[in-house]
Structure 1
């Protein structure tokens, strides 16, 4: 299995911290946020990881190198000066990901979710990890039914963690779903394609009740750093 780490965001809410450092390279607990993911991916046997980049793209190879220190081979998918959003970024990275299902994770989250426990072969187009709704996102994103199906509506509503296992087929006929002119290279969000797949019952999921942080503000980064440095962390 290969993996994709979304790391191309501009990190605007994290300024001035992200003026010179991309958000996934900001440190918590003594290491870059993205390094926590790379360690877990290597531990589960992943060897090829694609990191999509845009803002301060040159900083990633400077800090991470070729991935050898984790036993990984890193591939950098540069999207240009304007990030291509989640859907466009995934589409842009597909040539590096191959045809098999792959794990995708946002580079600006921290979690104790066990990546190795996720299905290597999702039943449909995607398998998503959902978490309890954080204070800053109380309405949630999707519903999760008792059989493990993820729905665009319904209760209980949970928040997408930014962790999922995908098949390339989730992007099939993406132009039929994306509104407006996506540009060249295409820039679009993944969520509408996921909702399309949900409508045909092609998205499963699970509820992760453990630790998860969307590191979207300097305050959340500081709180996470303190948590990870605490003796009991």
Structure 2
């Protein structure tokens, strides 16, 4: 698993979690727990098992509690660094700010801190990074897509083979972006550091150049978006 040491991972944990209130009034959303383990801890344990060594976590709302809970990462066998944001910079803005800490030579893994996917195929995603490094181009993003959940029935992107588009392709299937992806640092090269920026426009531009690939994931995946959903997941995984 040493071959994965050079692939850093970024965990997105800067959101306010408005829909999770009042649970998030005094706790950052990614520290909410399923079976007494925080959402971030689930990710960190999986990353460590997969051979990842270096993780960067961004935070804004109550970010000091994330640092207090996770520390330097020793408890997970990881090296964790933090990218604090005064106000949340959205996904792309947060990634751009963290790039100097991530020190990615090309590709890096990004996972939303508020999704729960206990059987995430990290090994396969890391193999995908090694494959992407062989391609000319380069591909700028590889997205993990999932069947559309009840709360998001219209999906996000179209998948045909391994090509991802935001416009319909012949014979394509419209799926939901899981919040889990592999990105090339060049996707963010034109962003101004410390400026809020959304990810979707960058992906859309890359898709227009056929530089976004993806795969459909059928394993357990949950967007922990409401207190009720958190309660249901705790009951389901008892």
Whether 1:88 aligns to 2:93 is: yes
Gaps of 5+ in 1: 176-183
Deviations 1:162-211 (A, max 9, x none): 00011101113347xxxxxxxx7210101100010011010110000111
How far does residue 217 in structure 1 lie from its aligned partner after superposition?
0.3
Cα distance in structure 1, aligned partners of 2:237 and 2:70: 21
- Match of 2:179? 162
The size of the alignment, in residue pairs, is 219
- Of the three residues 136, 160, 164, the one matched with 2:151 is 136
**What per-residue deviation string (whole Å, max 9, x for no partner) do you get for residues 43-65 of structure 1?**
11111100000000100111111
d(CA) in 1 for partners of 2:158 and 2:35?
A: 33
Q: Secondary structure at the match of 1:185?
A: coil
Q: Would you say 1:29 and 2:32 are equivalent positions? A: no
Using the alignment, how far apart are the partners of 2:191 and 2:73 within structure 1? 32
TM-score by length of 2: 0.89
Shift of 1:100: 2.9
Q: Which residues in structure 2 correspond to 1:17-166 (within 5 Å)? A: 17-80=23-86, 82-98=87-103, 99-111=105-117, 112-118=119-125, 119-121=128-130, 122=132, 123=135, 124-146=139-161, 148-154=162-168, 155-166=172-183
User: Any conservation in 2 of the 1:174–1:193 contact (CA below 8 Å)?
Assistant: no
In structure 2, stretches of 5+ residues that fail to align are: 1-6
User: How far apart are residue 2 of structure 1 and its match?
Assistant: 0.5
- Native 8 Å contact 2:111 2:181 kept in 1: yes
Q: Matched residues in 1 for 2:24 and 2:90: separation?
A: 18
SS in 1 for 2:129: coil
Write the distance in 2 (CA, Å) between the matches of 1:125 and 1:132: 23
